[in-house]
């Protein structure tokens, strides 16, 4: 009984320590985790490398995987690039096995762990920001060490009642036949899978295996067989997490499961040769190190086999799980809400898409080629409402001042895009232009503004992860975008400056009977509407690229508006 209590307590402390340490490391990394992942995944190969490194640092493959899902959903990464990060995370998560093999089972660390727990807890309670996060990580690491010591004591007791001969022999072991050896291998793989499924942590299960080998409860071949099963068992948590999730999350979870199964099949086929090699090396390298190395090589081989076939693998996954979501639903993936940086960037791109579509429609209407379809306007308004609802569900506030400014700018862009759609929703622009005479220069200025706004929005929506890898989350202004922004600002400003004189001229034309009062008011209404359209398109475009404040000259005449967006002298 005491042995079982020690083993369960050791596993519990290990899991608790890993959770606390991961939370601390994630908080310490902050938004850098999302930024680095976005920059690192320029290609599947670099994504796999940096996915492994980042997972090793933050000690959480799930954190890397969930962040990757958000980046893919936001359009910041392609699905193949996301796969590269997920593959790399599988390699990075094997680092804890080395900690167990090289340090955890060899010496009693409780003497060092307890003071570290106190120091980490003190930093967590008394500090703030990164100091508190560092204290959490230290306390969690110390709990991992203490859990390993407790686990080591429990395994020592287990070795007194459990011997390797009590477990099934596996093929590759001396004197074991192929049929009985294969049956024993599959039995131990099943046991390892169940261990991970119950613990929901392959790291903890592998720590148990290495500790059991150190205590003499299992031999080298049996330990390797358990590791294969424990690697497959990791996929159970991803499969469970994907239930009810978005298509992107389901696809990455399926890719994760397929990766584990393919790597396991390779390991099973190669097991007789691997077991012979490990036995040959056991004379010069201790078994704990060999098991940790086997765990790492096992995953590295799986990545090496699948990485060159990423495009084919992507096609297989997409065929197995075809997407039934609209482009908007894929973009506003709820998984992105876990990261304010990704959520804001997702919203920004949807707003840019709406601005591009609306600007193209208005430009065509002003050119006489088509009319602004009210169905498209309603669809754009619904999309912007979904963006507002999406941002309202944000799970945590932005962490840095730069992130807060980006969120504020995106909200400004959203608000102006919504007003633009509201103006268009008031009636058919083409119909108004047809029934009311209007100033051609006003129409030309509005058309210029919409073409330039379309170019700004299009530059954002056409960004791919590769073209944006220098700054994948946020914005950068290319010379072409800067020129387009200057054009839309200039056209909107000139159109606004013409309003007072144009209004006065139209009203003055009524008395000498050059115009009827109805015609004068109709022309003024058209001019005012064109001015509002250009103004909101300009402001939305400027905020989308982070130039909403610096490019807003206060000296330019701006009509006064009320709370509902109407001009003060505008009826209704």
pLDDT digits over 285-342, tens only?
Answer: 888 888 888 888 888 888 888 888 888 888 888 888 776 655 666 667 676 676 777 7
Contact between 464 and 71 under an 8 Å Cβ cutoff? The reply is: no
75 sits in the region (left: phi over 0; alpha: psi -120 to 50; else beta) called left
Coil vs helix vs strand at 175: coil
More confident residue, 563 or 165: 165
CA–CA separation, 345 vs 569, rounded Å?
A: 37
DSSP assigned state of 567? B
Torsion of CA 278, 279, 280, 285, to 10 degrees: 70
User: Helix, strand, coil: what percent of the chain each, to 5?
Assistant: 75, 0, 25
Does residue 571 carry a pLDDT above 50?
no
Cβ atoms of residues 533 and 512 within 8 Å: no
More confident residue, 388 or 502: 388
Q: What is the pLDDT of residue 469?
A: 36
- What is the C-alpha separation between 398 and 317, in angstroms, rounded? 33
pLDDT at site 319: 85
Element (H, E) at 91: helix 79-92
- 457-493 as b/e: b if 16+ CB within 10 A: bbbbbebebeebbeebbbbeeeeebeebbebbbebbb
Q: Is 3 exposed, middle or buried (0-12, 13-18, 19+ CB in 10 A)?
A: middle
Is residue 277 within 8 A of residue 298, CB to CB? The reply is: no
**What is the C-alpha to C-alpha distance for residues 47 and 84, in angstroms, rounded to an integer?**
5
Report the C-alpha gap between 443 and 429 in whole angstroms. Answer: 11
Whole-number Cα distances in Å, 456 to 354, 360, 462, 545, 566: 12, 12, 10, 8, 26
Secondary element (H or E) of residue 527: helix 517-544
Among candidates 202, 221, 254, which has minimal Cα distance to 92? 202
Model confidence band, residue 363 (pLDDT cutoffs 50, 70, 90): confident
User: Which residue, 55, 5, 52, 477, is CA-closest to 304?
Assistant: 52
- CA-based torsion, 92, 94, 98, 100: positive or negative: positive
Please state, in angstroms and rounded to a whole number, the distance separating the CA atoms of residues 330 and 72. 9
Element (H, E) at 375: helix 374-392
How many percent of the chain have pLDDT more than 90? 3
Q: Could you give phi then psi for residue 246, rounded to 5 degrees?
A: -70, 170
Alpha carbons 169 and 190: distance in angstroms, whole number: 14
Domains of the chain with bracketed CATH: 2-320 (no CATH), 339-544 (1.20.58.220)
Summarize the confidence of residues 451-471 as an average pLDDT.
65
For 108-144, what is each residue's pLDDT tens digit? 556 667 777 788 888 887 777 778 877 887 787 777 7
Mean pLDDT of 83-91: 82
- Give the CA diameter of the chain: 115
| Tens-digit pLDDT profile for residues 146-165 | 776 666 566 555 545 555 56
In the three-class reduction of DSSP (H, G, I as helix; E, B as strand; rest coil), residue 29 is classed as helix
Q: How confident is the model at residue 559 (pLDDT cuts 50, 70, 90)?
A: very low
Average pLDDT, the chain: 75
Three-state secondary structure call for residue 502: helix
The answer to whether residues 140 and 22 touch, using CB atoms and an 8 Å cutoff, is yes
Reported as type and span, the H/E element at residue 459 is: helix 440-461
67/257: higher pLDDT: 257
Torsion of CA 53, 58, 63, 68, to 10 degrees: -30
Q: Does 106 score more than 70 pLDDT?
A: no
* Of 119, 111, 20, nearest in space to 60 by CA: 20
Q: pLDDT of 10-39, one tens digit each?
A: 667 766 776 776 666 566 555 555 666 666
CA 512 remoteness from chain centre: 66
Report the C-alpha gap between 440 and 42 in whole angstroms: 48
Using CA atoms, how far apart are residues 22 and 546, in angstroms rounded to an integer? 33
Instruction: Please say if the pLDDT value at position 432 is more than 80.
Output: no
9-13, 209-213, 260-264, 480-484: segment of lowest average pLDDT: 9-13
């Amino acid at each position: 009984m005491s042995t079982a209590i020690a083993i369960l307590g050791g596993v519990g402390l290990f899991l608790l320590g890993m959770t606390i340490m991961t939370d601390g490391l994630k908080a310490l990394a902050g938004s850098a985790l999302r930024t680095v992942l976005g920059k690192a995944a320029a290609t599947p190969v670099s994504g796999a490398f940096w996915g492994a490194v980042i997972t090793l640092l933050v000690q959480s493959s799930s954190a890397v995987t969930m962040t990757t899902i958000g980046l893919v959903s936001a359009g910041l990464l392609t699905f193949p690039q996301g796969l590269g990060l997920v593959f790399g995370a599988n390699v990075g998560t094997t680092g804890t096995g080395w900690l167990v093999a090289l340090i955890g089972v060899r010496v009693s660390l409780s003497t060092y762990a307890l003071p570290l727990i106190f120091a980490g807890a003190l930093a967590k309670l008394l500090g703030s920001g990164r100091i508190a996060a560092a204290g959490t990580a230290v306390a969690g690491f110390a709990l991992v060490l203490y859990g390993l010591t407790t686990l080591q004591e429990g395994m020592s007791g287990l070795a007194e009642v459990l011997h390797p001969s009590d477990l099934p022999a596996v093929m590759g072991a001396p004197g074991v036949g192929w049929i009985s050896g294969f049956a024993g291998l599959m039995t131990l793989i099943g046991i390892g899978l169940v261990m991970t499924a119950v613990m929901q942590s392959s790291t903890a299960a592998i720590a148990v295996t290495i500790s059991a080998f150190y205590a003499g409860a299992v031999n080298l071949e049996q330990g390797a067989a358990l590791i294969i099963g424990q690697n497959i068992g990791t996929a159970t948590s991803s499969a469970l997490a994907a239930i009810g999730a978005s298509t992107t999350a389901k696809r990455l979870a399926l890719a994760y499961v397929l990766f584990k199964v393919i790597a396991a099949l390779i390991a099973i086929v190669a097991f007789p040769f691997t077991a012979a090699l490990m036995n040959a090396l056991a004379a010069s390298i201790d078994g704990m190190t060999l098991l940790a190395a086997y765990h790492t090589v096992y995953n590295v081989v799986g990545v090496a086999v699948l990485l060159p076939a990423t495009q084919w693998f992507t096609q297989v996954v997409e065929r197995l799980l075809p997407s039934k979501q609209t482009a908007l639903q894929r973009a506003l993936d709820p998984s992105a809400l876990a990261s304010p940086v990704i959520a804001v960037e997702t919203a920004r791109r949807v707003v840019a898409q709406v601005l591009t579509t609306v600007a193209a429609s208005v430009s065509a209407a002003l050119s006489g080629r088509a009319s602004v379809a009210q169905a498209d306007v309603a669809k754009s308004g619904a999309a912007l409402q979904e963006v507002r609802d999406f941002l309202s569900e944000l799970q945590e506030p932005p962490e840095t001042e730069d992130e807060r400014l980006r969120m504020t700018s995106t909200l400004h862009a959203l608000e102006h895009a919504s007003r633009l759609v509201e103006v268009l929703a008031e009636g058919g622009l083409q119909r108004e232009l047809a029934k009311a005479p209007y100033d051609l220069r006003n129409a030309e200025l509005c058309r210029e503004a919409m073409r330039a706004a379309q170019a700004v929005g299009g530059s954002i929506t056409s960004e791919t992860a590769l073209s944006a890898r220098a700054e994948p989350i946020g914005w950068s202004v290319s010379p072409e975008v800067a020129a387009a922004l200057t054009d839309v600002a200039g056209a909107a400003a000139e159109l606004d400056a013409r309003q007072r004189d144009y209004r006065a001229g139209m009203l003055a034309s009524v008395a000498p009977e050059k115009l009827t009062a109805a015609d004068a008011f109709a022309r003024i209404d058209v001019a005012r509407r064109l001015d509002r359209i250009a103004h909101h398109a300009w402001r939305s475009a400027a905020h989308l690229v982070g130039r909403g404040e610096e490019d807003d000259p206060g000296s330019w005449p701006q009509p006064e508006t009320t709370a509902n967006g109407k001009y003060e002298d505008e009826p209704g």
